[in-house]
Amino acid sequence: MIELKTEREIQIIKINGKILARTLKLIGEKIRPGIRTKELDFLAENFIKKQGAYPAFKGYRGFPSSICVSVNEEVVHGIPGERIIQEGEIVSVDIGVLKDGYYADGAYTFPVGKVSEEAQKLMRVTQQALESALQFAQEGRYLSDISHAIQSSVEENGFSVVRDLVGHGIGKRLHEEPQIPNFGDPGHGVMLKRGMVLAIEPMVNAGSYEIDTKDDQWTITTRDGSLSAHFEHTAAVTENGAEVLTVDR
């Protein structure tokens, strides 16, 4: 069942989203060649806790860290550790924030130093796909309109959307109904209503959309070793498109 949120609930999620956005900003300021992925995890956890919130991923279904850090061909769910980030890599950072009983979820892919033209295009296209999708998070539209906007935006630029992972509803639980695929025909499925809060998250591969899971049972990678990018916002459905909640304003 899809739970519609009150304005009060949306405002709580928005406060958490602001904490999340500021955490991502901090990561963006600190990420550089030579830093270990576990250092980013430490920075994020400390900052979130100082805001009176909790890093939502830590312990979630057994996940061992506070944030997901996925490098290059890693799509999502990368576990921070001893890996040293190198010049020219792209790093996707996914963060969840829990406070006052509600969740916010967001992600951003950062370039480290000078990256390849392909990597630049991949990040740009993925972010544009998210922005395109947000225009369809509007009362009276269909859920698959969001999915189709992402797929169309990505594939017309020669990349592929991951098909085995989805966006999701969010609120009192990190993952709620509905699931939001990043592909599909428009005009199908659930009709969107005010009060729905959605975590919309295109995951885009430079090569094939096929993925694998590493031996750690968490980290998802592209099967062909191509680069992957991930951007995500938590947004509330309104009469006029999405109200993005994971921003610092």
Is residue 212 domain-resident?
Answer: yes
pTM for the full predicted model: 0.97
Calpha distance 248→165 (Å, rounded): 27
Confidence check: pLDDT of 239 > 90: no
Residue 130 DSSP SS3: helix
pLDDT confidence bin for 200, thresholds 50/70/90: very high
Calpha distance 110→198 (Å, rounded): 23
**Using one digit for the tens of pLDDT, what is the confidence trace for 104-130?**
999 999 999 999 999 999 999 999 999
Instruction: Find the CATH number of the domain harbouring 240.
Output: 3.90.230.10
Q: What's the burial of 184, exposed, middle or buried (CB within 10 Å: 0-12/13-18/19+)?
A: buried
Confidence check: pLDDT of 241 > 90: no
Number of domains in the chain: 1
Is residue 68 domain-resident?
Answer: yes
Is residue 2 domain-resident?
Answer: no
Is residue 148 domain-resident?
Answer: yes
Strand partners, 110: 91
- For 15, 28, 31, 40, 78, the CA distances from 24, given in Å and listed in that order, are 15, 6, 10, 10, 16
Give every CB contact of residue 115 below 8 A, 6+ residues apart in sequence. 88, 89, 90
Calpha distance 149→145 (Å, rounded): 6
**Using one digit for the tens of pLDDT, what is the confidence trace for 152-196?**
999 999 999 999 999 999 999 999 999 999 999 999 999 999 999
Task: Tell how strand 233-238 and strand 74-76 pair up.
Answer: unpaired
Is residue 1 domain-resident?
Answer: no
- For 132, 167, 209, the CA distances from 222, given in Å and listed in that order, are 24, 18, 7
**Using one digit for the tens of pLDDT, what is the confidence trace for 30-78?**
999 999 999 999 999 999 999 999 999 999 999 999 999 999 999 999 9
Nearest Cα neighbor of 248 from 106, 124, 138 is 106
Is residue 150 domain-resident?
Answer: yes
Calpha distance 53→75 (Å, rounded): 26
Is residue 153 domain-resident?
Answer: yes
Segments forming the whole domain that contains residue 144: 7-244
Is residue 82 domain-resident?
Answer: yes
Q: Which two tokens stand for residue 55?
A: 């890093």
